[in-house]
Copies of this chain bind each other. A is one copy, B any other.
Amino acid sequence: MSERSRSYHHGDLRAALVTEALEIARTEPAALSLREVTRRAGVSPAAAYRHFRDRSALMGALATEIQHRMVSRMRARTADLEPADPAREALLRLRGVGLGYIDFAIEEPGWFELAFFGSAEGAAVEEEAGSSPEQVPPFAELLAALDDCVAAGALPAERRAGAEFSCWSAVHGCAELMVHGPLRGAPPAVVREVAQRVVDDIITGIR
């Protein structure tokens, strides 16, 4: 396993391709091509097709991996909440989910850009059935936080339905604003302030 680089067979090319693609996406997104990925993995372009139906399948795997990393960071951020009364704590968690989402987009714009690619272009038709909201990990995180709010009495039950769309819209839109939009490259202080205002406004609005 140690000296696998010289052997004709790679060992675990699929994982290696995803790893290389992640690296490229983070550092020089413009260079993210199937050929470049295989090049860095030390393998011929066609080899990728033994593991992915086509380019968009690779991007889908990439998106899934990124979504999981996103959730990890969101959780790491939310973990250190000092105890408070349940309602307040649930709201703080909801706030943390939103801010964590936005932070991830700012810290890893290359990854953020690809995080929802699977649901975007090529694979639109076939996956149809398998892409319910609950299966998009960051979205699932939001759903859980909202349910918590209801359980803790911080959100009236009759306001629960549809609240996830308001929250996701505001938070995702804010992230886009900062990665692609007018706030791209704004000073971190401004960015922080805007993010907090957006998250607080939408949490106020859904209640």
Using a CB–CB cutoff of 8 Å, the interface residues on chain A facing chain B are 116, 119-120, 124, 128, 131-133, 136, 139, 162-163, 165-166, 168-174, 176-177, 180-185, 193-194, 197-198, 200-206
Contact = CB atoms under 8 A, between A and B. Distances in A.
The 7 closest A-B pairs by CB, nearest first: A173-B173, A205-B205, A169-B173, A201-B205, A169-B174, A133-B182, A172-B173
- From DSSP, what is the main secondary structure of chain A's interface residues? helix
Nearest to A193: B162
A165 B184 contact: no
Copies of the protein in its oligomer: 2
B202 A165 contact: no
B180 A194 contact: no
Contacts of A180: 116, 119-120
Contacts of A185: 128
Contacts of A173: 168-174, 176
Contact of A182 (B119, B203, B205): B119
Nearest to A30: B121
Given A165-B194, A193-B162, A170 B202 contact: yes
Contacts of A165: 174, 177, 183, 194, 197-198
Contact of A205 (B171, B177, B183, B202): B202
